[in-house]
Amino acid sequence: MKEKTNVVLTGVGGQGVITAANILGKAAVRAKVNVFVSEVHGMAQRGGSVNCTVRMGKVSGPLVASGTADAVLSMEPIESLRYIGYTNKNTKLITDITPVIPFTVSVGTEKYPPVNEVFKELEKYTNLYKIDATKIAREAGAIITKNIVMLGSLAATDVLPFDKKILLETILDNVPAKFKDVNKKAFEGGFKAIKK
């Protein structure tokens, strides 16, 4: 097993990035793996770009150095490119394919690049895995489980220093009983999207 595991989670305020990072952190504690998580709160949260990091193993703080991410989980295409500095050639970058248009674009002052160009650009730097997490979440029964879909996809890589089962158990322990099925479906959906 690797000494250190660095995961970066990105997206837009409201997509559940912080919740996903928190769950990943709890799963590490459950697996008895040393862990630190960093979050964004306050002014940075209102509709803005959100970036959390989770570090596991022989680490002493939550911030990830440039070029050292083992995985990037992005709930939005350009948000993965915004944090491309964290990646290297071996990083596994998983992104949802659905853009969330910033109001700077809606009001016409800035432009959202064509999504295919974003993907092409991402492939220049790292290993890209595109998934339609929005669709998978909707099929699972609730669009808000998109963050759980993303965690499922992460579990399908070889990045995590603990078993997929531990992550799923942690998720199910942290959602109300009536939403357990939906979250399980979302997680498995994300897993299958990577491990076809």
Partner 1 sequence: MEIIESKPDETILLLGNEAITRGALEAGVDVATTYPGTPSSEIADTFSHIAKYFNKKSKKTPFYFEYSTNEKVALEVAAAASFSGLRSLTCMKHVGLNVASDAFMTYLYVGTRGGHVIISADDPACHSSQNEQDNRYYALFSSCPMLEPTTPHEAKEMTRLAFEISEELHSPILLRTTTRLNHARGAVKLRKPLKPREKGHFEKSPMLVTTPAVARIRHPELLKMLDKAEKISEKSRFNEIIEVGNPKDWGIVTSGVAFNYVKEAVDDLKLDIRILKLGMTHPLPKKMCKDFLSQCKKIIIVEELEPILENQFKAFIYEIGCKVEIYGKSTGHFSRLFEYNPDIVFEALSKIFKLKNPILKPENSALVLPSRPPALCPGCPHRATYYAAKKAQPKGVVYPTDIGCYTLGKEKPLEMADLLLCMGSNAGTACGLAVATDQKVISFMGDSTFFHSGIPPIIDAVHHNHDVVITILDNRTTAMTGHQPHPGTEFDGMGRPAKKILVEEVVKGCGVELVEITDPNKIKETTEAFKRALEFKGPAVVVSKSPCILLENRDKRKRGEEVFVYEIDQEKCKQCKLCISRFGCPSFYYDKDGSIHIDDQQCNGCGNCTEICPFDAIHKKGVRK
In the complex, the smallest distance separating the C-beta of residue 73 from partner 1, rounded to whole angstroms, is 17
* Binding of partner 1 by 66 (CB under 8 A): yes
**48 touches 14 (CB < 8 A):** no
Interface pick for partner 1 out of 2, 63, 180, 195 (rule CB under 8 A): 63
Facing residues of 10 across strands?
51, 74
* Binding of partner 1 by 61 (CB under 8 A): yes
* Binding of partner 1 by 101 (CB under 8 A): yes
**18 touches 51 (CB < 8 A):** no
**30 touches 56 (CB < 8 A):** no
* Binding of partner 1 by 176 (CB under 8 A): no
- Residue with smaller CB distance to partner 1, 44 or 195: 44
In the complex, the smallest distance separating the C-beta of residue 143 from partner 1, rounded to whole angstroms, is 8
Interface pick for partner 1 out of 47, 123, 163, 181 (rule CB under 8 A): 47
Which segments within 58-126 are labelled E, that is strand?
71-74, 92-96
Interface pick for partner 1 out of 2, 29, 180, 181 (rule CB under 8 A): 29
Which is nearest to 1 in space by CA: 166, 194, 159? 159
Q: Give the H or E element holding residue 181.
A: helix 180-194
Joined tokens for residue 169 = 């158990």
**CA dist 137 → 27, 66, 141, 193 (Å):** 21, 31, 6, 12
Q: Which stretch binds partner 1 (CB under 8 A): 27-35, 146-154, 157-165, 180-188?
A: 27-35
Name the site residues for partner 1 (rule: CB under 8 A). Answer: 12-13, 21-22, 25-26, 28-29, 34-49, 59-68, 78-79, 81-82, 84-88, 101-113, 117-118, 121, 125
